[in-house]
Amino acid sequence: MEALLCQPQWRIIDQSAIGSHFHALQSFGTDDTLCASVGAGKAPATARTWVHHNTIVLGIQDTKLPFLQEGIDFLKHQGYQYIVRNSGGLAVVLDEGVLNISLIFPEAEKGIDINRGYDAMWQLVQQMFAEFPQQIEAREIVGSYCPGSYDLSIGGKKFAGISQRRLKRGVAVQIYLCVDGSGSQRAELIREFYKRAKQSETTKFAYPEIVPNVMASLSELYQTNFTIADVMLRLLNQLKLNSDFLYAGQLNEFELELLPGYYQRVVERNEKLEEM
């Protein structure tokens, strides 16, 4: 197991059941707050889980699409809201079948190498599903949305993507896990978004050509009806094995003071992009 996962304490902040009452902008403000807190030694290593309903999270590059408004209008017509995140990557789909996990680590004296952060999350997911014979690979899946070198896949079908956010000596390694539902239908939604937002224009940035059948959910890949609660239990069991003390917690006083400022920064960033 990656040594980074072995922490004296793991605090778990479970926001997976809040759903439609919790806006995605709050999530990214919360992770920034946790980075600052854990990085300052005001809190132990923290795992935060969250689920958002019908939300498309865009990357900065997506905001430069030549016909972005047409793409956004399509998403709204399909019943999706959208935000622009402050970590890397491109458009992803969040809905009630997608579990997001953020692992927030304190940076050591020498810092945490970026690949080490990715490896920690990859190995955590492998351990969560260790009883299944299928191998979970980490490599770019061409044709997926938000492709990257740490796409998690089984048999060439992607079910998860990992990103990182670094702030004030804190590192947030974030993953979205497509737990149930149709991976290809989610991919089709993003394919249509890019079709409308890019059209036939030539762009400096190479946006992905989405191939829906290269994406799937864990339920589809394992032929098992997983729920968010099932995967949450697997996560908790693994974190318990990798700490002397695992406990459920909420934001502490230090974090509650920081949160409004970090949340406002995320809101303002999105407002500026909308004005553009």
What's the pLDDT score for residue 270?
A: 85
Instruction: Specify the residue for token string 């098992």.
Output: 224
- How do beta strands 137-138 and 98-106 pair? unpaired
C-alpha span between 75 and 97 (Å, rounded) = 18
Residue type at 28 in one-letter notation: F
What's the pLDDT score for residue 222?
A: 97
The percentage of the chain sitting over the pLDDT mark of 70, rounded to a whole number, equals: 95
Active-site annotation holds for 35: no
**How distant is the alpha carbon of residue 22 from its chain centre?**
15
* Overall number of domains in the chain: 1
User: Maximum distance among all alpha carbons in the chain?
Assistant: 56
C-alpha span between 176 and 179 (Å, rounded) = 9
- How do beta strands 157-167 and 152-154 pair? antiparallel
- Per-residue pLDDT tens for 168-191? 889 999 999 999 999 999 999 999
Instruction: Specify the residue for token string 């014979």.
Output: 133
- Element containing residue 189 per DSSP (H, E): helix 183-198
Q: What is the DSSP string of 70-127?
A: HHHHHHHHTT-EEEE-SSS---EEE-TTEEEEEEEEE--TT---HHHHHHHHHHHHHH
What's the pLDDT score for residue 88?
A: 67
Q: Residue 177 has which token pair?
A: 């896990």
Q: Residue 233 has which token pair?
A: 């239990």
What's the pLDDT score for residue 112?
A: 79
Q: What is the CATH number of the domain that holds 178?
A: 3.30.930.10
The parent domain of residue 93 ranges over 3-275
Residue type at 119 in one-letter notation: D
Q: Give the three-state DSSP class for 165.
A: strand
Minimum mean pLDDT range among 88-92, 103-107, 120-124, 219-223:
88-92
Determine contact, residues 145/61, Cβ cutoff 8 Å: no
- Element containing residue 137 per DSSP (H, E): strand 137-138
What's the pLDDT score for residue 108?
A: 72
β-partners of residue 153 are: 137, 158
Instruction: Specify the residue for token string 């960033």.
Output: 269
Give the sheet arrangement for strand 55-58, strand by strand.
81-84, 55-58, 92-94
Could you tell me the pLDDT band of residue 120, with boundaries at 50, 70 and 90?
very high
Q: What is the pTM of this model?
A: 0.94
Determine contact, residues 112/183, Cβ cutoff 8 Å: no
- Per-residue pLDDT tens for 20-65? 677 888 998 999 999 999 999 999 999 999 999 999 999 989 999 9
